[in-house]
Structure 1
């Protein structure tokens, strides 16, 4: 099988793996090191001869043990701006392209995670799959224009834009169609896509948002407060990576659930206004969007807390923290008590809706209101681990088909494989510019429920989701 791809930078040799060719560690930008640390991503330099692309590049700096890195055969470095490509063939075919942005709260994760291996999806769908590494944490989200210049903000998003630009320009050399590019993201990856879409980015043709807490795009004031904490920790001048990671761990994340101090922020440049404000007040790019959440997103995070924490008082405090001081916490809890028995389940359900389901619904409903194509889903497929339900991240093994990479998320048996087949079939239909189910056109409109039965449902929890409609803090 042919494994050479000729790009404008130079020739790459990929790794033939059965029916797929994999190109790993492909540089899409120059190393963001030295004087380029706080600068936007710049074009990667070219090379002469044939460059080997058979090993994953270093992952972005993050908190991960050396033992875990070594076990996976990976390294970690600021020189991390690479991507990985899975293609059925290096030829002149024009296959649809899926670019996937990983999650991890914009502090963790990488495109070489086993869960995100694109082999099965590329082979099954005859598409090209791309995953990306980008700067994380302080290195990707520091809001400090007074320290490093106006274009030093939202470097994670700037990296993602540079990667998408590279894919547009170069993916034809890998059997992909640069005019049929779907960008997908999960969790913080989906939040990034909402920001790019609201900002008018024209480097993708369709978008998939999975479990994106869209409300978590930070205000300028919130981002400035994090920068002030870092300044107090003496992380402003030329610290080493270890110093930056140490300071990052000391940032106050607020009451559970944490406020996400490293998500994108309204910087007046890459993000001029909060994505929810943009969606509600004017049309975004008229592209099709597929978006949704899992039914029990927050349970996997609450599972780390001892059961004794979930008293009636704690549930009330969480309701007040989410809904605001002007709200009636008793009414909030009562809204959820009818459908959820235990204190833990009520507490988790409130966060799931506040941070994930309701803002996603608002974002895509607004997009649909302007006549755009929207498909909405809710994943109800439960984890085999007791108490987790259809938790955060469970969509990943189902989409990529890598069930064995995270057996606790979705299971590994025949039923899980059938569920994965369903998810892949529907997503691939969308990626190929089809209509996988009925369009979502209004609050409570058609939503694909993916569980033991897969069918569209209307008025799907519209009352509970509507409760959070005006509960989010001011954006700016």
Structure 2
């Protein structure tokens, strides 16, 4: 089955092939939302798509953004990689005149990895189940999307990843009606670095969406201007940007590997930065001090986010001294690292688990709680959750990324994250229905109303709890460095 959608830029042909059991869902793949950011546009904000005549084929995914991935892996997944990557993918029950709710998803990957055509993010099942339109987006990554070098590349060259995302959302507002979507009912969801970007868009006053879902965002990772300048200096030291000719994409990727990621948690060298243009202040500061768009927000984290990252470390690494060093790195000078360790020791007897729990809270849970608490206290609808569904892999618990198969229902795409048995699929059913209720404009559970407010715990026993882990989260109040 094929279908044609008529946008103001030209007509697009999609099909339902490759959707498996969801054969009644039409997919438009590789849809351009901006001009290719190549040549003179490499370090520039996204530009409008040139119009075309006839019907443009949209049955194949577009190239993924340049990233550190092997040619063998690309070939295995039938993918290509190119700087000409500013495309999105749309799953819809029909390209008709119905006005269905829209879910736009911003993928994670530290703003250095990932793409909207990943099997885990296939939107067919979610679109079919909820009678909604699902959109995934490709945007510039790594140095090409985040280099802070305004003196070198001029104004408008900073935070290109955020500029791409904002441009894509403008495209959705203007064009999604051609795909059976309602441009006045757009929810944007972001996971991991996608959630960090979404917090930055909210803090910047972006009004191109009507609801927001933040999943597992390390919201403290928005970088200061000084931190971003340090990363740029490391790249400039390689010499690839100071010669007469522009470097090739492969050279840029090679230079990225020279950038120091820092101690735990990593510095996030490619996350958004406070550039005084797209981002004037850190989102955590904005949330506390002034209004953001007054839209409903659903936000949360997994219980054991950091365990999947610590899994690569040998057991012998986790000594008492290492745990204290990690606590000090997180808490900062002037704070008692031993007191932090003591607080977590009551609930975590293994040093590996204790060390991971501290980073989970510092990097993910506490900043998310602080961000949405401030939003709730200004009278906005907020719905807090913690995912407690464990990975079937021993020791990972409810780890980072485990929310993805549950939300999209693509359990078989990553069975090691959340499982693929009957119980896991039932958990996915529960999560999907709650998310869809929010996307449709409803209230999926009781509103979060500040410190100790109701939090939905999603696991073997799903339900609301008040005061959930408020004591441990309070440790990280005022622990984040000054931003500027």
> Any gaps of 5 or more consecutive residues in structure 1?
none
Aligned mate of 1:458, from 466, 474, 481: 466
User: Corresponding residue for 1:13?
Assistant: 13
What is the alpha-carbon distance in structure 2 between the residues aligned to residue 372 and residue 329 of structure 1?
35
Native 8 Å contact 1:2 1:89 kept in 2: no
User: Corresponding residue for 1:319?
Assistant: 327
Aligned mate of 1:187, from 185, 192, 198: 192
User: Corresponding residue for 1:130?
Assistant: 135
Residue 29 of structure 1: SS of its match in structure 2?
coil
1:120 maps to 2:125: yes
User: Corresponding residue for 2:355?
Assistant: 347
1:195-344 aligned within 5 A: 195-237=200-242, 238-344=246-352
What is the alpha-carbon distance in structure 1 between the residues aligned to residue 15 and residue 372 of structure 2?
39
User: Corresponding residue for 1:27?
Assistant: 32
What is the alpha-carbon distance in structure 2 between the residues aligned to residue 225 and residue 235 of structure 1?
16
User: Corresponding residue for 1:475?
Assistant: 483
| Misfit runs of 4+, over 2 Å | none
User: Corresponding residue for 1:66?
Assistant: 71
Residue 309 of structure 2: SS of its match in structure 1?
helix
What is the alpha-carbon distance in structure 1 between the residues aligned to residue 336 and residue 69 of structure 2?
41
User: Corresponding residue for 1:97?
Assistant: 102
1:44 maps to 2:44: no
1:151 maps to 2:159: no
Residue 284 of structure 2: SS of its match in structure 1?
helix
Aligned mate of 1:399, from 407, 412, 417: 407
User: Corresponding residue for 1:80?
Assistant: 85
**1:16 CA displacement:** 2.1
Residue 259 of structure 1: SS of its match in structure 2?
coil
What is the alpha-carbon distance in structure 1 between the residues aligned to residue 455 and residue 219 of structure 2?
19
Native 8 Å contact 2:327 2:340 kept in 1: yes
**1:235 CA displacement:** 3.0
1:430-469 aligned within 5 A: 430-469=438-477
Residue 150 of structure 1: SS of its match in structure 2?
coil
**1:240 CA displacement:** 1.1
Native 8 Å contact 2:264 2:359 kept in 1: no
Summarize deviations over 1:214-253 as a string: whole Å, max 9, x none.
1000000100111111111113242111111111011011
**1:2 CA displacement:** 5.6
Deviates more, 1:246-255 or 1:405-414: 246-255
**1:442 CA displacement:** 0.8
What is the alpha-carbon distance in structure 2 between the residues aligned to residue 345 and residue 310 of structure 1?
9
| TM-score, normalised with respect to structure 1 | 0.99
What is the alpha-carbon distance in structure 1 between the residues aligned to residue 16 and residue 391 of structure 2?
34
What is the alpha-carbon distance in structure 2 between the residues aligned to residue 337 and residue 235 of structure 1?
47
1:4 maps to 2:9: no
What is the alpha-carbon distance in structure 2 between the residues aligned to residue 221 and residue 256 of structure 1?
19
What is the alpha-carbon distance in structure 1 between the residues aligned to residue 258 and residue 305 of structure 2?
26
What is the alpha-carbon distance in structure 1 between the residues aligned to residue 74 and residue 207 of structure 2?
36
Native 8 Å contact 1:2 1:90 kept in 2: no
What is the alpha-carbon distance in structure 1 between the residues aligned to residue 402 and residue 362 of structure 2?
19
Residue 56 of structure 1: SS of its match in structure 2?
coil
What is the alpha-carbon distance in structure 1 between the residues aligned to residue 8 and residue 291 of structure 2?
35
Deviates more, 1:238-247 or 1:442-451: 238-247
Deviates more, 1:251-260 or 1:187-196: 251-260
What is the alpha-carbon distance in structure 2 between the residues aligned to residue 321 and residue 40 of structure 1?
36
Native 8 Å contact 1:197 1:284 kept in 2: yes
**1:257 CA displacement:** 2.0
What is the alpha-carbon distance in structure 2 between the residues aligned to residue 197 and residue 367 of structure 1?
11
Native 8 Å contact 2:2 2:15 kept in 1: no
Residue 152 of structure 1: SS of its match in structure 2?
coil
| TM-score, normalised with respect to structure 2 | 0.98
